A and B are shown apart, each in its own frame.
Chain A
C-alpha cells in the first residue's frame, strides 16, 4: 500500500523527527511508513491524516499495492 506521507511532509517543510514528535512515534517508524515497510494501525493512520488535514483514503491508497517478493 502506497502512501503520501513523505510528499505531504515535504510540502510542509517538516523533518521526519518533527513529524514523529507531532504523531507521538519514533523517527524510525516515520521512515518505515514513508518507505512502505510498515502499515500503521488504524488509529495512527487517522492521526497522520488529521495532522495533514486530509482524509485517510487520500493519504493511503489501497489500490496501489506494493508487491512483496
Chain B
C-alpha cells in the first residue's frame, strides 16, 4: 500500500482544525445546528483538498506535496493573484464600512497584517531568497 505523504495531509489537517474551531465558535454563538453544518462543510473541504492532491496532473501536484519548479511557479503566481484580489476586497470592504458608518477596524487589521507581512517577506527574501 502506498504510504501517504505527511505534507499532503498537512493542509487538509490544518483546514479541518481551523474549520472545527470555526464550527465550535458558530455553535457557541448561533446554536449547535449551524455549528454542525459548518463542521460538515469543513470536513468536505478538507476531504476535497486531499482528493485534489491525488490527481495525476498539475492541479494534483499543486494541491498535493510533490511540485517541480514550474508547478511551484504556477502556485506562486496563483497565490500572488489571490493576494491582490484579497487586498482589493479589503479596500472595498473598508470603503463600504466607512460609507455605512460601521466599524472599519477588521479591514484595517487585515490591511496592517498584510502590509507588515509584505515588508517582512521582502526583507527575508532579499537576504535569503527561496530558489
Chain A residues with a Cβ under 8 A of chain B: 24-26, 28-29, 32, 38, 40-41, 44
Contacts and interface: CB of A to CB of B under 8 A. Distances in A.
Interface of B: 57-58, 61, 68-71
Query: Interface of chain B, helix or strand or loop or mixed?
Result: helix
- Interface of chain A: mostly helix, strand, loop or mixed: loop
Those 8 A-B pairs whose CB atoms lie nearest each other, nearest first? A25-B68, A29-B70, A38-B70, A26-B68, A29-B68, A28-B58, A41-B69, A26-B61
Contacts of A41: 69
A54 to B, nearest CB: 21
A41 B70 CA distance: 9
Contacts of A29: 68-71
